[in-house]
Structure 1
Amino acid sequence: MKRKRVVCGFGLGLLLLGTGYVSAQSPNIVIIYADDLGYGEVKALNPERCKLETPAIDSLARDGMVFTDGHSSSAVCTPSRYSMLTGRYSWRSKLQKGVLNPWGENLLNPERITMPELVRTKGYLTAAIGKWHLGWDWQKRDGSYVFDEPVRGGPVDHGYDYYFGPDVPDFPPFAWIENDRLTAMPTENSKPDPRGGRGGPLVPGWDPEAMLSTMAGKAADYFDERASDKNPFFLYFGLTSPHTPIVPSKAWQGKSGMGAYCDFVLETDHTVGQVLQALEKSGLDQNTLVFFSSDNGCSSGPSKSIKLAKELGHYTSGKLRGHKGSNFEGGTRVPFIVRWPGVVPAGSVCDQMVCQIDYMATVADVLGIEMPASAGVDSISFLPLLKEPQAAPPRETLILHNYYGEFALRDGPYKLILAPGNGQGFGGGPSDAEAIQRGDPMVQLYNLGDDVAETTNLANIHPERVQLMTEKLVSSVARGRTTPGKPLRNDAEIDLYKKHLHKGK
């Protein structure tokens, strides 16, 4: 897709309020969040090496702004969602690596302000539909989980007026949760699903192939309700795809000619289209700010990404190295698109570094909200870029985290990885042990401006830059925040180097 880089002001009808820009009619806000969708799986972002057609997501790119250096804060699910919702790096929480496991307790401190709680102060209605994966406070009775009572700790306890979703598509219980209750009792017990689901309590007749269409229908109903009551709203729509289980519905099976995973990507795009069409049908689209992104890169195992690249020329990470789980760019550089009719110039591109952790400060800026000192402590507004894509970069540094909890720091075009490899190899090798065995430096330094594919480690050539960036990272971790303000405490002791992973074979 041929795209333009533009410099333009905001449209008419915008009022300057404090440091933020707010329309005379406050915009609705919709976040569409894909699950394991790689940068290279969107045709508009990877036209030469993406063999799939993604017309719905492409339409967002055509009508909005593409951020070519947009990131999730982590290379895996739970941490990315935590950071997006709170504007705080996930490694400041008690979760230091990996993701929450099935039945994992709620990760969110009730005293920590979330993005939906923030917009509520401006009279917004808030809803979450789809994947949650930030934990619940499941109760037990006689050694078994309780399903016939409210389950606390979920979305409605952290700023959402309404929730509907399956929590995590491959975790038990396999049931719909509405607000804080299961809609039906999981009276059966399933075995692990060969398509990528764990076993456990299951509602009779549970159909994972119906998840996407059911959630899209709920979003359409929500838009209709908001069109009737005229209240501004904030909707988080968490897709369950193309994450495991790989379950394209019958209408999409075989559509790609490239296997079930690629069929599922096509259905993911179709679901995005259903949500956008429902928004338009309700008459709300012209006053709605839409963010589209993914929680991390493509998962190389379920996608069979290496086979797709070698045999079909389909590159799920585009030109980037690595996949989900990795501190290489393919783990965290993700599709990142913003559409806001009349405000964000259509067909525009911004090359500045931004992150989903910045959604919170950006939304606050849009609505003219002054955030409390303890809220969004790592979130930096990129609203100026929506006004002028060539504006000065809002953030100089960005801290990233892989599946194993290993740290990386972006500082302008440079990227420092505090590990010789990539943990134990999930998301792209070499593993740390393999890197040590072959004599690689104990850290990695890349200049993404010249080497976005991260082929040349400059750590031994520029030790002074390694030292400077390491000092910046140490300082950012110690202060408990990266925004101006009083230093704060992290929720856990931070192990910067993860040396237990760096043992040679």
Structure 2
Amino acid sequence: MVTSFLLAAAAALLNAQEPRPVEQDGHVRPNIILINTDDMGAADWSGGGSRFIQTPHLDQMAAEGVVLTDFYASANVCTPSRAALLTGRYAVRSGLARGVIYPHSDYGLPQSEITLPSILREAGYATQIVGKWHLGTVPDAHPLEHGFDEFFGVPYSNDMSPFPLISQREVIEEEADQTQLTARYTEAAIDFIARQAGREQPFFIYLAHTFPHIPLYASDAFLGQSQAGRYGDTILEIDWSLGQLRQTLADHGVAHSTLIIFTSDNGPWFEGEAGVRGRKGDTHDGAYRVPFVAHLEGLTPPGAVSRAMAMQIDLMPTLARLAGAAMPDDRPIDGRDITALLQGGQESPHEVLVFFDNDQIAAIRTQRWRLVLRTFYRNWLVPLEQFGAVHLFDLETHGDELFNVAEDYPDVVESLSARLETLRSELEGLPQRETPLNLPGDE
């Protein structure tokens, strides 16, 4: 339980030589580092089963902490995934569920949305975002307008142009040197840790890596070092970055009081990932399932593995609880507190998770079953529902979603379909923003 963690952590620190974590009303508040990679498959690290990408630092963190095997991004592409992660709400609620934001988009994350960094800052945390934002470039959507004290990074995906590197509100490179991005992100996060470690103030770092989104770049030291091409090389460098951060925390005496979470914004851009069907932008499991590794001394049992389903919408309520921050009570929050899963628990707080394709529900999942309503063939959307051919997958028997068992379990299809209609009445039809595909100047 969280209470036992807090008591154990406080007791262990009485005789420690390292700096004490910040307390408020007897509540030990951890520093938090949330690492969000871009388009990384759930199995694309050695601890997750990859034979071709060696990630010793992530493996070590997993050995010391907890792995959630059935953890999902909240959308199958960048912008809605990030909106949901930072608000604890499905992206349809913030109007950002359709497609992604482009350099010429005239909107972003609404000011009315309450974000994870904003509630942490209100609770006394110093907050930093390093890396990819992708929630709008209009003034009201800037990271500094949504709860972050510091911003060092890029405004959107690295396949868009122009692609500037920004510090606070200033463009410091018109075109970022992408071969150095991972290293520079790491340096910025390390500098923030060094400045905050000696203060009586907890800190939150949201490190949103640019890679392994395409086009792929890595610094010279990592080129050709994996057995998975440039894709693997970028993950090797991200793993190196994790090692640098963990060493910095240790050097400054705050490793024991810092929660690190490692995940990704959606599935990989290539066809499929090991053991899971689908890819980024698809409606099958591989579009949404992402890696999840977490470690905090005294909270995450060493080597724990939970197969309970969870989603990135759960991070805001979970981190709010651990930080002693207040969640908003004036709006629906779709996320749930998954502290019990960080402690190795096996029971999800969700009865059902919802998977969107743009602003339409594409699938729903219970712990055992996944009902898929739409899929793709080449460039065509196939609305399975309209053909009376929904797909039902038994994830306990075939986690790879290869066999449709809808005809074998009509009662399950009926039950999930009834649940689906209730969800649609709440979540579909909400107003959305969308960027036209034609660029400015196009006829």
TM-score, normalised via structure 1 length: 0.77
SS of residue matched to 1:248: coil
Give the deviation of 1:283 after TM superposition: 1.9
Is it true that 1:413 corresponds to 2:408 in the alignment?
no
Give the deviation of 1:247 after TM superposition: 0.9
- In the alignment, which of 237, 244, 247 is matched to residue 217 of structure 2? 247
1:312-323 alignment runs, 5 A limit: 317-323=273-279
Question: Could you say which residue in structure 2 is the equivalent of 1:208?
Answer: 178
Give the deviation of 1:157 after TM superposition: 0.5
Question: Could you say which residue in structure 2 is the equivalent of 1:468?
Answer: 415
Give the partner amino acid of 1:175: P
Give the deviation of 1:277 after TM superposition: 2.2
Give the deviation of 1:441 after TM superposition: 5.0
SS of residue matched to 1:40: coil
Comparing 164-173 with 354-363, greater Cα deviation is found at 164-173
Give the deviation of 1:381 after TM superposition: 0.4
* Alpha carbons of structure 1 residues 258 and 382: separation in structure 2 relative to 1, 3 Å: closer
- In the alignment, which of 288, 303, 324 is matched to residue 258 of structure 2? 288
Unaligned 5+ residue runs, structure 1? 1-5, 16-20, 138-150, 187-201, 306-315, 482-488, 494-505
- In the alignment, which of 170, 175, 187 is matched to residue 164 of structure 2? 175
Q: Deviations over 1:210-256 (max 9, x none)?
A: 11111100001000000132311111000111111211111111112
Give the partner amino acid of 1:330: G
SS of residue matched to 1:128: strand
Give the partner amino acid of 2:426: R
Question: Could you say which residue in structure 2 is the equivalent of 1:273?
Answer: 243
CA contact 2:361–2:424 (8 Å) conserved in 1? no
Question: Could you say which residue in structure 1 is the equivalent of 2:299?
Answer: 343
Is it true that 1:163 corresponds to 2:163 in the alignment?
no
Question: Could you say which residue in structure 2 is the equivalent of 1:451?
Answer: 398
2:126 and 2:325 map into 1 onto residues whose CA distance is: 16
Give the deviation of 1:262 after TM superposition: 2.0
SS of residue matched to 1:95: coil
CA contact 1:423–1:432 (8 Å) conserved in 2? yes
- In the alignment, which of 272, 279, 283 is matched to residue 327 of structure 1? 283
- In the alignment, which of 225, 232, 241 is matched to residue 195 of structure 2? 225
1:443 and 1:297 map into 2 onto residues whose CA distance is: 22
SS of residue matched to 2:5: coil
Question: Could you say which residue in structure 2 is the equivalent of 1:423?
Answer: 376
Question: Could you say which residue in structure 2 is the equivalent of 1:393?
Answer: 348
Give the deviation of 1:27 after TM superposition: 0.6
1:159 and 1:123 map into 2 onto residues whose CA distance is: 11
Q: Deviations over 1:84-116 (max 9, x none)?
A: 000110123333432222332343121211111
Give the deviation of 1:129 after TM superposition: 0.5
Give the deviation of 1:273 after TM superposition: 2.0
Give the deviation of 1:9 after TM superposition: 5.5
1:93 and 1:369 map into 2 onto residues whose CA distance is: 21
Is it true that 1:56 corresponds to 2:60 in the alignment?
no
CA contact 2:37–2:209 (8 Å) conserved in 1? yes
Is it true that 1:41 corresponds to 2:44 in the alignment?
yes
SS of residue matched to 1:279: helix
2:241 and 2:7 map into 1 onto residues whose CA distance is: 32
SS of residue matched to 2:246: helix
Give the deviation of 1:442 after TM superposition: 3.0
* Alpha carbons of structure 1 residues 207 and 393: separation in structure 2 relative to 1, 3 Å: closer
2:39 and 2:26 map into 1 onto residues whose CA distance is: 33
Question: Could you say which residue in structure 1 is the equivalent of 2:438?
Answer: none
SS of residue matched to 1:85: helix
SS of residue matched to 1:344: coil
Give the deviation of 1:376 after TM superposition: 6.0
Identity %: 33
1:146-157 alignment runs, 5 A limit: 151-157=139-145
Q: Deviations over 1:135-193 (max 9, x none)?
A: 111xxxxxxxxxxxxx4421101111111102222222322112222225x3xxxxxxx
CA contact 2:101–2:135 (8 Å) conserved in 1? yes
Question: Could you say which residue in structure 1 is the equivalent of 2:109?
Answer: 108
1:262 and 1:11 map into 2 onto residues whose CA distance is: 38
Give the partner amino acid of 1:176: L
CA contact 2:52–2:227 (8 Å) conserved in 1? no
1:318 and 1:34 map into 2 onto residues whose CA distance is: 18
Question: Could you say which residue in structure 2 is the equivalent of 1:12?
Answer: 7
Give the partner amino acid of 1:465: V
Give the partner amino acid of 2:248: A
1:229 and 1:171 map into 2 onto residues whose CA distance is: 38
1:435 and 1:400 map into 2 onto residues whose CA distance is: 15
1:332 and 1:354 map into 2 onto residues whose CA distance is: 11
1:166 and 1:368 map into 2 onto residues whose CA distance is: 30
Give the deviation of 1:38 after TM superposition: 0.4
Question: Could you say which residue in structure 1 is the equivalent of 2:129?
Answer: 128
Give the deviation of 1:477 after TM superposition: 3.7
SS of residue matched to 2:108: coil
TM-score, normalised via structure 2 length: 0.87
CA contact 2:92–2:359 (8 Å) conserved in 1? no
SS of residue matched to 1:25: strand
Give the deviation of 1:440 after TM superposition: 7.7
Question: Could you say which residue in structure 2 is the equivalent of 1:264?
Answer: 234
* Alpha carbons of structure 1 residues 364 and 274: separation in structure 2 relative to 1, 3 Å: same
* Alpha carbons of structure 1 residues 22 and 50: separation in structure 2 relative to 1, 3 Å: farther
Unaligned 5+ residue runs, structure 2? 11-23, 434-443
CA contact 1:79–1:99 (8 Å) conserved in 2? yes
1:363 and 1:434 map into 2 onto residues whose CA distance is: 37
2:46 and 2:225 map into 1 onto residues whose CA distance is: 16
Is it true that 1:79 corresponds to 2:80 in the alignment?
yes
2:343 and 2:317 map into 1 onto residues whose CA distance is: 15
Give the deviation of 1:465 after TM superposition: 2.4
SS of residue matched to 2:294: strand
